[in-house]
Amino acid sequence: MKKFLLSVIIPVFNEENNIDPLLKRLIPVLKPYQYEIIFVDDGSKDKTAQIIKKYAQINKNIKLISFTRNFGHQMALVAGYLYAKGDCAISLDADLQDPPEIIPEMIKKWQEGTEIVYAKRDDRRKADSFFKRFTANLFYKTINFLTDIPIPDNVGDFRLIDRKVIEFLNQIKEKSRFLRGLVAWPGFKADYVYYVRDKRFSGKTHYPLSKMINLAVEGITSFSIKPLRLATYFGFLTALLGFLGIFYAVLGKIFLPRYWVTGWTALFVGIMFLGGVQLITIGIIGEYIGKIYQEIQNRPQFLIREKINL
């Protein structure tokens, strides 16, 4: 195959202790190729940007985009894809849980005609707790049940995508970006490479349970209206239960007047159940209205403070 340019996109947020070990492992892997490494600093408060700048002065293939504040991991990837010049692009995190050493295998799959090469976590026991693995599996099962687009499980944002996929992503104008779904949505030819996930090299995860829940809600509401349909089904269910309750009360009053005692328990349970369903339904509708609100605002998805070597 002819020579090609490989873009490696690395979102970073407070990763000052991981930049040096990452580049020591990554650059030897990339030496056989023409490459660019695009770091996207997502508003770090430590010395992450300064360390990257020092490397960028020595190696012009290392580039930096710095946001004015933290806009989120997905927006950092969006910026990386926007500025990537490569014939293909690989995105990975800076914490070394995603091993750079499998990049040649990903490139080989791409050269054979695969347009998306996912790095799939074959074993997460070494890196993640049982709770983390359980919630991750629950995340993928839930999102695949509620969305119309099949999203590969045990796959994060460590992947290779072809130039045509990059151009597709750059054409999208919507503000809410769930890239795992957007990459899968067009139906490009996909394949996998497998790896054992390592522990984070330094620092704490930037994706705790709360952010995983937010990511799941973002993905579900971006790719499906099934939650709205479920809210409708809940409405029919509660209406049916309400009619059954009326029927039961009328029969009891007519045929068992002596033994019929109006109790507070049934009333309490009924009010709590109906109130819960109503709040869930309002919350679901609110998520979709919130997305409409964000689209109408038409604010920039991110703001760039500076660019190095770009």
Q: What are 175-192's pLDDT values in tens digits?
A: 778 888 889 888 899 999
Q: Please list the residues that pair with 308 across neighbouring strands.
A: 64
Q: Are residues 148 and 231 located together in one domain of the fold?
A: no
Q: Are residues 190 and 218 located together in one domain of the fold?
A: yes
Q: Are residues 31 and 148 located together in one domain of the fold?
A: yes
Residue 303 placed within a domain? no
Domain boundary among 207, 223, 239: 223
Task: List Cβ<8 Å contacts ≥24 apart for 262-270.
Answer: 270/242, 270/245
Residue 145 token pair? 């049940």
Mean pLDDT within 97-113: 94
Q: Are residues 204 and 235 located together in one domain of the fold?
A: no
Q: Are residues 84 and 174 located together in one domain of the fold?
A: yes
Residue 306 placed within a domain? no
Provide the mean pLDDT of the chain. Answer: 82
Distance between CA 112 and CA 235 in Å, rounded?
A: 51
Q: Select the more confidently predicted residue: 288 or 309.
A: 309
- pLDDT tens readout for residues 35-80: 999 999 999 999 999 999 999 999 999 999 999 999 989 999 999 9
Structural domain that includes position 71: 5-223
- pLDDT tens readout for residues 200-245: 656 566 566 666 677 667 766 676 667 777 777 777 777 677 667 6
Domain boundary among 223, 255, 274: 223
Task: Please tell me the predicted confidence (pLDDT) of residue 292.
Answer: 79
Q: Are residues 242 and 196 located together in one domain of the fold?
A: no
pLDDT classification of 139: cutoffs 50, 70, 90: confident
Q: Are residues 249 and 265 located together in one domain of the fold?
A: yes
Domain boundary among 223, 247, 280: 223
Q: 30, 169, 54, 40: which is closest to 94 by C-alpha?
A: 40
Per-residue buried b or exposed e for 193-219, using 16+ beta carbons within 10 Å of the residue's own CB: bebebeebeeeeebeeeeebeebbbbb
Q: How many domains, in total, are found in the chain?
A: 2
Q: Are residues 43 and 149 located together in one domain of the fold?
A: yes
Does the reported pTM lie above 0.95?
no
Residue 310 placed within a domain? no
Q: Are residues 115 and 245 located together in one domain of the fold?
A: no
Q: Are residues 213 and 259 located together in one domain of the fold?
A: no
Q: Are residues 181 and 282 located together in one domain of the fold?
A: no
Q: What is the CATH number of the domain that holds 183?
A: 3.90.550.10
Q: Is 94 in contact with 170 (CB distance < 8 Å)? A: no
